[in-house]
Homo-oligomer: A and B are copies of this chain.
Amino acid sequence: MPLTVQAIIDQLCSSVPPISNTVDILMAGYPDTEVRGIAVSFMPTQQVIERAVASGANLLITHEPLSYSHRHEEKLIENDPIYAPKQKLIEDSGIAIFRYHDYCHRKQPDIIMTGLLAALDWEAHLTEMLPVAAIVELPSMTVSDVAAHVKRKLGMPFLRLTGELSAPCSRVGLLVGYRGGASTAIPLMREHDLDLLIVGEGPEWETPEYIRDAAYQGRSKALLTLGHAESEEPGMRALSVELKQQYKDVPVEFIPIQPIFQIV
């Protein structure tokens, strides 16, 4: 039986009850296409799609959308001169592109979370895996030590810090992607008595300002903002390894992206 796009989607979404109004859609291509090669990336940039096509993949699995908006607002890219060549590339190549986001995060454990933990080499320090966060307990060190570790392990040129580099820290909460907002991060920090939050991204006037007040009060509380992609790409890389083990008859390639921000 040929391996179809739909068969792979079904496998990815299995073990999770149906999610209504999900953003996990086949953004390009057809469900019954036979898959000859799989590419996995955090983001379907034009460069990533080109690389996927060049590698011979005809199914690209990404965490984020094609059209620069979480809910795939088609109007945003209608007659857009920048989106048009990307659309043409997709049509000319016939590549299928599936977004694996909600089902991925809902799976227990969430590979985006376990992928980050593994990349940080912190699996042995995990004390609690919550639906939206992981709590780790590190040997006592400073925020500066943790920042250096994170940069080295994730190959990142810089991090955004709120709080003090010299603050001691042991109890750390990890919140991937856009979970850095106050409604998730503040109760987590309070209820789990955390010293440090490591997040993807979140509104700047929320959690960072809470940390600013805490640090001003002399408390050892800090926040490291990795960037959305930096926090979730390790999980997508881990997914590509899983797929490689699962589908031995088709090549599976992981395509990394460059940091979206340069500090100038």
Please give the residue numbers on chain A whose beta carbons come within 8 Å of chain B beta carbons, in ascending order.
43, 45-47, 64-65, 68-70, 73, 76-77, 80-83, 85-86, 144, 147, 158-162, 165, 178, 182-183, 186-187, 190, 201, 203-210, 212-214, 216-217, 219, 221, 225, 227-229, 260-264
Contact = CB atoms under 8 A, between A and B. Distances in A.
Given A213-B46, A217-B85, A221-B82, A160 B207 contact: no
B68 A162 contact: no
Which 8 A-B pairs give the minimum distances between C-beta atoms? Answer: A160-B261, A204-B228, A82-B214, A208-B260, A68-B182, A161-B262, A161-B264, A46-B213
A219 B161 contact: no
A183 B73 contact: yes
A262 to B, nearest CB: 5
A86 B213 contact: yes
A183 to B, nearest CB: 7
Given A201-B203, A204-B228, A229-B204, A165 B46 contact: no
Contacts of A69: 182-183, 206
Contacts of A160: 261-264
B209 A45 contact: yes
A183 B69 CA distance: 8
Given A76-B186, A186-B76, A68 B262 contact: no
7 contacts: A64-B209, A68-B207, A77-B186, A81-B190, A161-B261, A204-B228, A212-B260
Given A80-B190, A82-B214, 8 more contacts: A45-B216, A77-B186, A83-B213, A86-B213, A165-B262, A201-B203, A204-B228, A208-B261
